[in-house]
Amino acid sequence: MSTSTAFGVDIGGSGIKGAIVDLEKGDLTTERVKYLTPNPSTPERVAKVVARLLKEAEWTGELGATFPAVIKNGVAKSAANVDKSWIGTDVDKIFTDITHCDVTVLNDADAAGIAEARFGAAKGVDGVVILLTFGTGIGSALLLDGQLVPNTELGHLELDGYDAEKKASSAAKDNEGLSYKQWAKRVQRYLRHVENLFTPDLFVVGGGVSKHADKWVPLLEISTPVKPAQLLNNAGIVGAAMAAHEKSTD
């Protein structure tokens, strides 16, 4: 029996990475390949990198791609850390035209949430799960009984007069030279705010800083359990591939 696979591409402000995904195990079946995001990161230039990844992998099947934006019906409604010319662009069509694959595009944090719910820290968790990715900003994915509620953008909640991600992202930690203890206080303030709004059953925290979860997660004093994401840098690729496959089987 052949293994069910799809190709996942994770597009970020600094890098574009992809691999073939085993959809039954949530593992990459090929080495993850990464290229720098072009500067400027216009639709045409990013699409060429996506096409290059697929050509090198000799892939012609289902393709899922994450994108750092609100995505509605394949169209980018925002543009976080990529060229503003993406706003209003049919991302799905651009990637379909250049790759000739069956493409599904979704928000990057939403893809990570899907992957963590199926294979990672949120596997088997009923109720409301909120995944938050701490990086340049704060990405979010809201899941109810394992089903995604897309495009939540909880990093942009107003908190103490600021966009929450301006103070609580890992970029804020680095830019302001905060210790883990200092930064954890900000994260705690933010999580309590989200907690009051949604009363979640679990927070899953991801992004690069989740690799050092032992330095800050134990410092958080909130009612909701907090787990570090398990798929780390592969979450976007795996979630994108899963979304593409599930769309094709609807």
Cβ-contact 169, 159 below 8 angstroms: no
CATH code of the domain containing 210: 3.30.420.40
> At 161, is the pLDDT very low, low, confident or very high (cuts 50, 70, 90)?
very high
| Spatial separation of the C-alpha atoms in residues 24 and 39, rounded to whole Å | 36
pLDDT in tens, 28-42: 999 999 999 999 999
Evaluate whether residue 116 is within a structural domain.
Answer: no
pLDDT band at 1; cut points 50, 70, 90: very low
SS3 at position 130 = strand
The CB density around residue 111, as the number of other CB atoms within 10 Å, is: 31
pLDDT in the model for residue 250:
65
Same domain (yes/no): 127, 225: yes
Burial of 204 (0-12, 13-18, 19+ CB in 10 A): buried
The two three-digit tokens of residue 48, written as one number:
């060429």
- Within a domain: 170: yes
Place of tokens 């039954």: 24
**Which residues form the domain of 153?**
123-229
Q: Does residue 113 lie within any of the structural domains?
A: no
Tell me, yes or no, whether 118 lies in a domain: no
Give me the number of domains the chain comprises.
Answer: 2
pLDDT per position as a tens digit, 77-128: 999 789 999 999 999 999 999 999 989 999 999 999 999 999 999 999 999 9
Residues 201 and 128 in one domain: yes
114 is a domain residue: no
Q: Are residues 95 and 158 in the same domain?
A: no
Residue 188: predicted pLDDT: 98
Same domain, 56 and 28: yes
